Structure 1
């Protein structure tokens, strides 16, 4: 009873501290200041920044209900280049090196080869062109940065026989961006007509966009060669067709060749343009919506985005950047980051935090300010917008958090697990001046309305979790003193973590089965979670991907040896030796199993295979540090060696504990994310208690001013 009263006192003190801190932080004022909030923001949807960030695609397919206008954008000028009809798609790619596998007049055969290649490549294409008075179809694979990598791909596809048995008009070879140029021509239609004339001579000819002296001109690029070796011969052949201005352009001259693509629609009657952008000249093509509505990007889960799309080449990869009005960008971010039914004040707090974070990013990704993933903040286009998130953005338009005349890096996380983190000691090793450190946070929202789960032992000796409504107390005790539970129905699932799932459970038990209760835990959520037992091998692999100095196996013990002000783990030791994985937040990834990360570093770690055995003479054996088999003495005095993986022991307090005969590790934690700055679930909790968005922001962010950014 005394313990119960102490807990009540602690919870009351915790609540009073929270209320006092929120009330003290509220200023209910917005200052007008000089920090400029731009009209637009650049969001990278596909980008290759090598080790810093990679989201790769070989092609971008765009379409808009009202059509699109294609603009060539240069640092000095922008000029109209082409247009795409309403509802029609257009594709964009880098004009790289490719493996040409087949050229045929039979589109059905080409599509059959394409299907084989697509089974293991997302960079397979069918190009339709006119040659020697015929319509031919070229099946190509890849958009490679070098001829050598394309050659390796060609060898692979040839050895696989993807085009075997199909009559081809030419031998498989590597093709590339080297070409002869004819023109210029007055219009794109004239360039296409010239390409048809040149193609009639049996040459690969494509109309192309090419800016000159601040204006858009149109040329024909003839040939798609892997080197410059054949260009003089091609130039002579082009001149022989009567085409004017045949020349060999410098490799640095920008262009975008237009190839007719059959891949996307899979029909010769529905070929669409593919703009192949030169890789080394800073060429940028922008697609602007011609009517109402946004632009759909097929390769990004068919999401539709406001604003314009810009395609360019960076680090020998296609880059796709969404240039979108800043406030409209936030419509999507707020809608994606928090629930549409959450209180308006939480929506407003999220809008200000997201606006501030994006503004503080500058041009953090070379040609973009932010990316569309959680590395920046989630951005999913128009599909994640909702009326509530839009209202939160509109009602805080232009408002940011500033300190010292600059926008702060207003990071936030999903759920801080009841207490916020300290940046300096627990997360990234930076200053925590603008963040509330170890502040209580009402994050338990995900747990509301959910049932508890029992941690149980089965008659087979297995352990797992069963939902509390599927069992009933029997009123009886196990010999150890633990409660016994009766299963209430047939086929009841026992799972490796307290969470319903479509995955097959570790066991199913029938009505009347008796289970031994080992504990009671909340259901698995973003607030409270348990990760299933991890093996030493899983953790050793994960740790060695991050560890500055590799850990020599086997992994026998793993324990938290340092914690920060909020209780988050800042150091773990493997086999008694501290593991250096860099900053504290890296522990989330370093302790994940099967390529995943822990939800947070606010966890406890149970070593199920670690315990101390005290012998009759007082001598102790430390398992698993001391090797040898584990033996027990039965009631009849006989000695038996434990064979199975599980055993049950009485701990120092007399409670029954599930253990294992070999090392295994169970993580029990709170929260989801780094826990620094604003907790989104905490913001919801405060809003539900009646606090406005300014109070919420000034609780989680310290030494800041809420200001209306200059336009």
Structure 2
């Protein structure tokens, strides 16, 4: 198998400003320097002419780069911001949703070098970086294959179910139809060569070149999150109702194997309110700095955390985030949990409306101005008058969906001397590692 290329959606704006550092070719013309492309009645306006699509190809792959101006990173997260970013490979411009989309077309191994530096600190241990290189490569190739199968069969992808009493919605990457993956946390963080890539990152990519996780003869859908909170979540509790045998419940530990059934409310509550032993239960700043970039370190609580909302604040937040006026919030009732204690169904009881929502990301989006750290939480109500609480405190566990590799847990494993294959097979149970190219 030849090393594939990947198309990464970077920027989605009515106007895209970019700088070509070196000679690029578009429609047989050599161009360089600062450029501006603008959406104009479902076409691309560039240098006074209209186009349906533009592809700027570098004349020298490794010597040329391009800058995209004002790229939004951390979309809808608490640290959302804009920055200029630099990329290798080609720049493709298309029209989508009455805007322009800027797409980077790049070889997978060059893409991975950036992903590893963007997802975590480039100073992480070699074994952690090697593990992340394998899962990022596996996840990407699995998504490309999945997208091809969907396109080939023209199958319809349903991401929600709705009744009068229940709204269950999940968010996956199948909404990208004109490129393979996006560059933000929705898929994998990818910030080109903006983040400094160190020798150890390049070493981790080279050492694992072409390696992927397999289950049987199929590439694993190798999900990962920042912190599982001590227990792995299963795929079907976060996304479509598909069971992957390598993404199953387990405690994030080698010393203690026993894991309570966190789908049971009393077990989940005890688990979330305590601080059980787990690889990801760490406050070691050296370890955390390996996984968390500067803006991620703005968050210090992740294994266990708390957030408190006053009544008016919570009711306004839920109305704004969901578009549904529940009135005053009377209760938040856990209805269903996954194997990590994450809520997959939550009943919101209000004076005007009662509705059960899910899955985990829908719950997190509804209960936060950006994304709640996770849906593994329990609720405490205070000062209840005439059935209306004055405040709600959510006590929670973990950061992210908790499926697959736990980045903080994996960092601790690397620091403790575990090799990358041991780290991978801890999080992807029964999988194997093989070389595709």
TM category (shorter chain) comes to 0.7 to 0.9
27, 35, 55: which is aligned to 1:285?
55
Return closer, same or farther for 1:287/1:394 CA change in 2, 3 Å cut-off: same
What is the CA-CA distance between 1:37 and the residue it aligns to?
6.3
Specify the alignment match of 1:60 in structure 2: 17
Aligned match of 2:36: 91
Are 1:599 and 1:673, in contact at CA under 8 Å, matched by a contact in 2?
yes
Hey, what does 2:109 align to over in structure 1? 327
1:435 aligned residue: 247
Offset at residue 305 of structure 1 (A): 0.6
Alignment of 1:54-133 (within 5 A): 55-64=12-21, 67-72=22-27, 80-84=28-32, 88-94=33-39, 96=40
Correspondences of 1:310-459 after superposition (within 5 Å)? 310-362=92-144, 363=147, 365-384=176-195, 385-425=197-237, 428-441=240-253, 442-444=278-280, 447-448=283-284
Corresponding residue for 2:265? none
8 A contact 2:232–2:339 mirrored in 1: no
Alpha-carbon displacement from aligned partner over 1:133-175 (angstroms, at most 9, x marks no partner): xxxxxxxxxxxx5xxxxxxxxxxxxxxxxxxxxxxxxxxxxxx
**1:570 to 1:438, Cα distance in 2 relative to 1, 3 A:** farther
2:215 equivalent to 1:258: no
- In the alignment, the residues of structure 2 paired with residue 427 and residue 608 of structure 1 have an alpha-carbon distance, to the nearest angstrom, of 33
**8 Å contact from structure 2 (residues 233, 342) kept in 1:** yes
Q: What is the aligned-residue RMSD (CA, Å)?
A: 2.9
* 8 A contact 1:92–1:277 mirrored in 2: no
Match status 1:535 vs 2:310: yes
**1:709 maps to what in 2?**
436
Q: Deviations over 1:653-708 (max 9, x none)?
A: xxxxxxxxx52111222211100010011111111222111111111112322110
Structure 1, residues 175-230: CA drift from partner, whole Å, max 9, x if none? xx8xxxxxxxxxxxxxxxxxxxxxxxxxxxxxxxxxxxxxxxxxxxxxxxxxxxxx
Give the one of 603, 607, 626 matched to 2:377.
603
C-alpha contact 1:61 1:299 (8 A) present in aligned 2 = no
Q: Distance in 2 between matches of 1:546 and 1:257?
A: 37
In the TM superposition, residue 446 of structure 1 has moved relative to its aligned partner by 5.1
Q: Report the CA distance between 1:413 and its aligned residue.
A: 0.3
Partner of 1:44: 9
Cα distance in structure 1, aligned partners of 2:419 and 2:233 = 23
Deviation at 1:296, TM superposition (A): 1.4
CA distance in 2, matches of 1:678, 1:337: 13
Secondary structure at the aligned position of 1:311 is classed as: strand
Q: C-alpha distance in 2, partners of 1:257/1:370?
A: 25
Give me the whole-angstrom Cα distance separating, in 2, the residues matched to 1:435 and 1:680.
Answer: 15
CA contact (8 A) 1:606 1:667 kept: yes
For structure 1, list consecutive stretches of 5 or more residues without a partner in the other structure.
1-35, 47-54, 73-79, 98-144, 146-176, 178-254, 260-275, 451-499, 502-522, 611-622, 628-661
SS in 2 for 1:556: strand
Please tell me whether the aligned partners of residues 569 and 602 of structure 1 are also in contact (alpha carbons under 8 angstroms).
yes
Over 3 Å counting, the alpha-carbon distance change for 1:286 and 1:449 in structure 2 is closer
Q: Secondary structure at the match of 1:575?
A: strand
Paired position in structure 1 for 2:341: 567
1:528-677, aligned counterparts within 5 Å? Answer: 528-531=304-307, 533-544=308-319, 550=324, 552-575=326-349, 579-592=355-368, 595-610=369-384, 623-625=385-387, 662-677=389-404
| Residues 436-480 of structure 1: CA deviation (Å, up to 9, x unaligned) | 314225444652369xxxxxxxxxxxxxxxxxxxxxxxxxxxxxx
- Counterpart of 1:245 in structure 2 is none
With normalisation by structure 1, the TM-score equals 0.47
- Of structures 1 and 2, the one scoring higher in RCO (CA 8 A, sep 6+) is 2
Equivalent residues of 1:58, 1:317 under 8 A apart: yes
Give the deviation of 1:597 after TM superposition: 1.7
Distance of aligned partners of 1:586 and 1:304 in 2 relative to their CA distance in 1, 3 Å threshold: same
TM-score for the superposition, normalised by structure 2? 0.74
Secondary structure of 2:204's counterpart equals: helix
Q: Which residue number corresponds to residue 69 of structure 2?
A: 298
User: Is the CA contact (8 Å cut-off) linking 2:93 and 2:102 kept in structure 1?
Assistant: yes
Deviation at 1:542, TM superposition (A): 4.3
- CA distance in structure 2 between the aligned counterparts of 1:283 and 1:293, rounded to whole angstroms: 21
Instruction: Determine helix, strand or coil for the equivalent of 2:423.
Output: helix
2:402 and 2:46 map into 1 onto residues whose CA distance is: 49
Alpha-carbon distance change, 669 to 676 in structure 1, aligned in 2, over 3 angstroms: same
The 3 A distance-change label for structure 1 pair 399 and 544 is same
Q: 1:449 to 1:398 in 2, by over 3 A?
A: closer
Q: Secondary structure at the match of 2:436?
A: strand
Q: Whole-Å Cα distance in 2 between the matches of residues 426 and 325 of structure 1? A: 30
Count residues with an aligned counterpart: 359
Residue 438 to residue 702, structure 1, CA distance change in 2 (3 Å): closer
SS in structure 2 opposite 1:356? helix
